[in-house]
């Protein structure tokens, strides 16, 4: 599956699970920056 454009991204809930799934599928775990604003809203880049 490594020749596809598929990527897995994770938030803060369970990054270990996302890493295991990506590893089993043989695809990279995408890089994402997840943070919260002071008003509680979440941002993902």
| pLDDT tens per residue across span 14-33 | 999 999 999 999 999 988 88
pLDDT of residue 25: 92
Task: State the pLDDT confidence band at 38, using cuts at 50, 70 and 90.
Answer: very high
Q: In the predicted model, is pLDDT for residue 3 greater than 70?
A: no
Calpha distance 18→11 (Å, rounded): 9
pLDDT of residue 1: 52
Neighbouring C-alpha atoms within 13 Å toward the C-beta of 34: 11
Taking residues 3-24, report their average pLDDT.
Answer: 88
pLDDT of residue 5: 83
């Amino acid at each position: 599956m490594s020749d596809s454009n598929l990527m897995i991204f994770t938030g803060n809930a369970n990054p270990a699970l996302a890493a295991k799934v990506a590893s089993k599928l043989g695809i990279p775990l995408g890089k994402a920056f997840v943070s919260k604003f002071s008003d509680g809203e979440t941002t993902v880049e």
